[in-house]
Structure 1
Amino acid sequence: MKIIYLLFAVVFLVLQGVPEFSKAQKLSKRCKLRGGFCSFLTCPFKTIRIGRCSNLALFCCQR
């Protein structure tokens, strides 16, 4: 019976992240439409940052 509570908690935690994941997908799609690409923490040499691909550490970069 205790495992049901554990499974319920795991399902609840997994479903919490679903909206954020879809938002990140929209941001990365918007970046690609603008002619950019997503990069972690910093943009590579000779590129400029034109936006974000997520709320955390992914930036949209363009050559």
Structure 2
Amino acid sequence: MDSFDAMTTDRPYKKGMLPGAACQELLSLAGSHYDPELCNVFANLVESHSETFCKITADY
């Protein structure tokens, strides 16, 4: 999800969020900005593969 990548990537003006925090943000906006079903599936995927997602975001 593009938004997840944007939230978890460090920017010159802001440090990226941790994967769990980014998922919470996506879930909080589900239904108004994002598809709720997709957000739930994506958040479950990130949670079930948290070690992988933490490593990916740390490598950036």
Q: Normalization by structure 1: what TM-score?
A: 0.26
Structure whose residues are more often strand by fraction: 1
TM-score (norm 2): 0.27
Higher relative contact order (CA 8 A, sep 6+): 2
